[in-house]
Amino acid sequence: MNVNSIVVLKLVLFIYWPWLVNSEGEQNRLLVNMTLVQNASALGAYCLDGSLPAYHLHRGFGAGADNWLLQFEGGGWCNDIKSCLDRSKSNHGSTRYMNKWEVFSGILSNNASFNPDFYNWNRVKIRYCDGASFSGDAKFYNGTSMLYFRGQRIWQAIILDLLPKGLGHAKKAMLSGCSAGGLATFLHCDNFTSFLPKNASVKCLSDAGFFLDERDIALNHTMRSFYEDLITLQGVEPNLNQNCTSTLYYPHLCFFPQYALPYIETPFFILNSAYDVYQFHHILVPPSSDPRRHWDHCKLNVTACDASQLNILQGFRNDMLAALRDFYQNSTRDGMYINSCFTHCQSETQETWFAVGSPRIHNKTIAETVGDWYFSRNISKEIDCAYPCDTTCHHMI
């Protein structure tokens, strides 16, 4: 279900928002080739189908030559044999089916006018092919079908491959990611820090990865059960934050960022919309919770939501802000940008990251706020007013 929905979102974007696709700026499109991690097989680090994992690296230069940004690709999850088998035959489960060249835009752009603070860093896009946010370690084999659940090993193999390429003597580093990759950022942030020099400045940024432990409109724990199945199938639990799992009565809950967050020691920035479209469609109003499909119009077009639907969406926003309250109040090293746009992932697309007409809170773009936080230029904790007050949003309709 999850991969499909991402595809649908992209399709909807493409159909209703052609200017967005065109304004990528053909002449400035940076395409970066794929590097397969040959040594991964020694670690048993395979994609679902047994293919080698991969990343795309674009080298930094000038003052950024010793700085590294690693960005996890997103793309939903698979929580049972069937969905994982399907995925293993797709670009989310096998490097065989992936495009070998990736567009680097937004936070991955190499042009200062599109990416003012990170353009000259070494920038890496880590491809996603395990289906469990780079955190599983198990294998399925029943005599005919074989599936590798090796996300944790893929993470390790990629880090070990990049260390001798310069990551090992980084001066500044940031781990980021979007959606399932944004969740991976929470899961691996402190582990990332442990591989870097002690005197390096290391921070983490999650984009659209703050998946909330919220009941759906039928009062079912749909997302919790989905993650339960995923954690069990893919052997995730040993790779969750041990300080969290040893404290919580239900250790599986540590897969949710809100429970793991207090145990993360590295400075962290949370970028998320309070009405994240993926969470709206899969956590708050999954298809199972709306069999009579009252929400179809509202899901596709927020101006079609009625008053009671908007109330429910405001409730979701309130719960997200409540889950972030300690994070907002306690720490000065952390940052956040919680806007009120019907969207999902805002750091990888130029139009939402940094452009004329990008979303703003208090007149600050996402790129400026993240940069101010990373370089300690200013306090960077922005929370938008509730929908529909923000006129700078790029809503997905």
Ligand X SMILES: *[C@@H]1O[C@H](CO)[C@@H](O)[C@H](O)[C@H]1NC(C)=O
Site string for ligand X, 195-214 (x = CB under 6 A): --x-xx--------------
- The separation between the first and the last C-alpha atoms of the chain, rounded to the nearest angstrom, is 20
- Encode burial over 30-54: b for 16+ CB neighbours within 10 A, e otherwise: bebebbebeebeebebbbbbebbbb
Q: Which of 67, 88, 105, 152 binds ligand X (CB under 6 A)?
A: 152
177, β-bridge pairs? 72, 206
Is 369 a residue that touches ligand X (CB under 6 A)? no
Residues 286, 346, 70: CA angle, nearest 5 degrees: 105
Q: Which residues touch 163 (CB under 8 Å, ≥6 apart)?
A: 195
Question: Of these, 4, 288, 318, 376, which contacts ligand X (CB under 6 A)?
Answer: 288
**Which of the following is catalytic: 92, 252, 344, 395?**
344
Catalytic annotation present for 306? no
Q: Clarify whether 179 is annotated catalytic.
A: yes
How many residues of this chain bind ligand X (CB under 6 A)? 40
d(CA 60, CA 68): 8
Closest CA to 394 of 369, 360, 364: 360
* Kind of pairing between the strands at 138-141 and 172-178: unpaired
Q: Which is nearer to ligand X, 144 or 332 (CB)?
A: 144
By CB under 6 A, residue 81 contacts ligand X = yes
Stretch binding ligand X (CB under 6 A), from 43-51, 125-133, 202-210, 257-265: 257-265
Query: Is residue 372 flagged as an active site residue?
Result: no
The nearer residue to ligand X, 65 or 218, going by C-beta atoms, is: 218
Nearest residue to 55 (alpha-carbon basis) of 146, 109, 123, 149? 123
Which listed residue (49, 117, 190, 276) is catalytic?
Answer: 276
Q: Is the dihedral of CA 124, 125, 129, 131 positive or negative?
A: positive
Q: Does the footprint of ligand X cover residue 122 (CB under 6 A)?
A: no
Active-site residue set: 179, 276, 344
List of residues contacting ligand X (CB under 6 A): 16, 28, 33, 39, 42, 81, 85, 111, 113, 142-145, 152, 156, 161, 164, 171, 191, 194, 197, 199-200, 218-220, 243, 262-263, 265, 288, 301, 303-304, 326, 330, 362-363, 378, 397
